[in-house]
Amino acid sequence: MTHLPVGIDIAKSVFQVHYVDEATGEIVNRPLKRAQLLVHFANRAPCVIGMEACGGAHHWARQLMSLGHQVRLLPAEYVKAFNIRNKNDAADARAIWLAVQQPSKAVAVKSETQQAMLALHRLRQQLVKYRTMQMNGLRGLLAEYGEVMARGRASLDKGMPAILARVSQRLPAFLVDTLREQWNGLAKVDEQIEAIERRIREWVKSDAAVAAIIAIPGVGLLTATAAVATMGSAKTFRSGREFAAWAGLVPRQKGTGGKVDLSGISKRGDTYLRTLLVHGARSVVMRSKDSRPWVEQLRLRRPLNVVIVAMANKIARTIWAVLAHQQPYDKNHVSAKPA
């Protein structure tokens, strides 16, 4: 490295900075208040600054990069390997300083627009989870009084009026009214989810990258926007295989003495993006009209879930290829073999 390596342990109010002074050789490990961080680095020569890819890291990375510094966001599990003693701010900053000097795959710094799109996805995911909890809660409470209904939102909406009419004859009115209010509240949650999805669709119209990969079979609105926003930049990855490995869609390796065992997928990377890719792959595999020869051959030899994950891996690699080469998706495209 030609620039001074610096490790920063970010926090809400107090940041810990660790580096070795080039002039004196002194080890500097001191706290800085939030307002002092940018002032401290404003007049310094360009540095290679390492930070954990945690809450607020992308904001501070953009701020420090605007001052001319090079910022590398490191996964927390990678930094943890360099902290061999007590867990405190000073030790964490030293571990980050050690980690940033090692060759590793850094997390791409996301723009504010990409983070805004991921924020919409997180809010939508939270609302969907809340809606599911409300539905399950209503079913569980009614089951205590002998009223059991089938699974699914359609069954809930169809059966609730008759069930509430029956239980109102023998249960207190305050409970029946509360159950009715909670059931009616699901419609408001539906409206909030639909509003978020409408805003996501508006972003698709203005983003060329999302519009390019949404044509890939198995890639819908949510998968396309989440992939572009989570990836940051396709240039972060050297190949589609590396992107698929980063998403956790490759076998986990374990071996010694020259013998390597492959087990289930590693499940590394972003869980939300991997879930969307798997769901998209499931829709492709289960549609016979879209099945491909290699999929049909694999289904004869391996379980269905293995085939679905293989398709998710294929989709992830196709997404990277479309974004990295900036070419539209072509289902008949054949990759040229390297010489």
Per DSSP, the three-state class of 27 is strand
Provide the pairing of β-strand 14-20 with 27-33. Answer: antiparallel
Confidence of residue 35 (pLDDT cuts 50, 70, 90): very high
pLDDT of residue 312: 94
Query: What mean pLDDT is predicted for residues 11-33?
Result: 92
Question: Which residue ranges make up each domain of the chain?
Answer: 4-100, 112-206, 209-325
Q: Which of 15-19, 65-69, 85-89, 109-113 has the lowest mean pLDDT?
A: 85-89
Residue with tokens 């949650």: 189
- Percentage with pLDDT > 90 across the chain: 68
Distance of CA 137 to the CA centre of its chain: 28
pLDDT of residue 293: 84
pLDDT of residue 120: 95
Query: What mean pLDDT is predicted for residues 269-298?
Result: 86
Query: What mean pLDDT is predicted for residues 85-98?
Result: 92
- Percentage with pLDDT > 70 across the chain: 97
Per DSSP, the three-state class of 300 is helix
Query: What mean pLDDT is predicted for residues 270-296?
Result: 86
Provide the pairing of β-strand 27-33 with 259-265. Answer: unpaired
Query: What mean pLDDT is predicted for residues 11-19?
Result: 94
Confidence of residue 270 (pLDDT cuts 50, 70, 90): confident
pLDDT of residue 236: 85
Instruction: Reply yes or no on whether the pLDDT at 300 is more than 70.
Output: yes
Question: If one looks up domain 4-100 in CATH, what number appears?
Answer: 3.30.420.40
More confident position, 9 or 257: 9
Q: In which region does residue 33 sit, left (phi positive, over 0), alpha (psi from -120 to 50) or beta (all else)?
A: beta
Query: Average pLDDT of the chain?
Result: 90
State the DSSP string of 54-66.
STTHHHHHHHHHH
Instruction: Reply yes or no on whether the pLDDT at 338 is more than 70.
Output: no
pLDDT of residue 265: 85
pLDDT of residue 144: 94
pLDDT tens-place string over residues 186-200: 999 999 999 999 999
CA dist., res. 158 & res. 149, Å (int):
10
Tell me how crowded residue 261 is: count the other CB atoms within 10 A of its CB: 10
pLDDT of residue 337: 62
pLDDT tens-place string over residues 197-256: 999 998 888 888 898 999 999 999 999 999 999 988 888 889 999 999 999 998 888 888
Contact between 143 and 244 under an 8 Å Cβ cutoff? The reply is no
What are 79's two structure tokens? 């930094």
Query: What mean pLDDT is predicted for residues 60-81?
Result: 93
Task: Spell out the alpha helix ranges (H) of the chain.
Answer: 37-42, 57-66, 76-80, 89-100, 112-143, 153-167, 173-206, 208-213, 221-231, 240-246, 271-286, 293-301, 304-325
State the DSSP string of 136-151.
HHHHHHHHTTT----S
pLDDT of residue 256: 81
Confidence of residue 334 (pLDDT cuts 50, 70, 90): confident
- pTM for the model stands at 0.85
More confident position, 206 or 158: 158
pLDDT of residue 289: 63
pLDDT of residue 267: 83
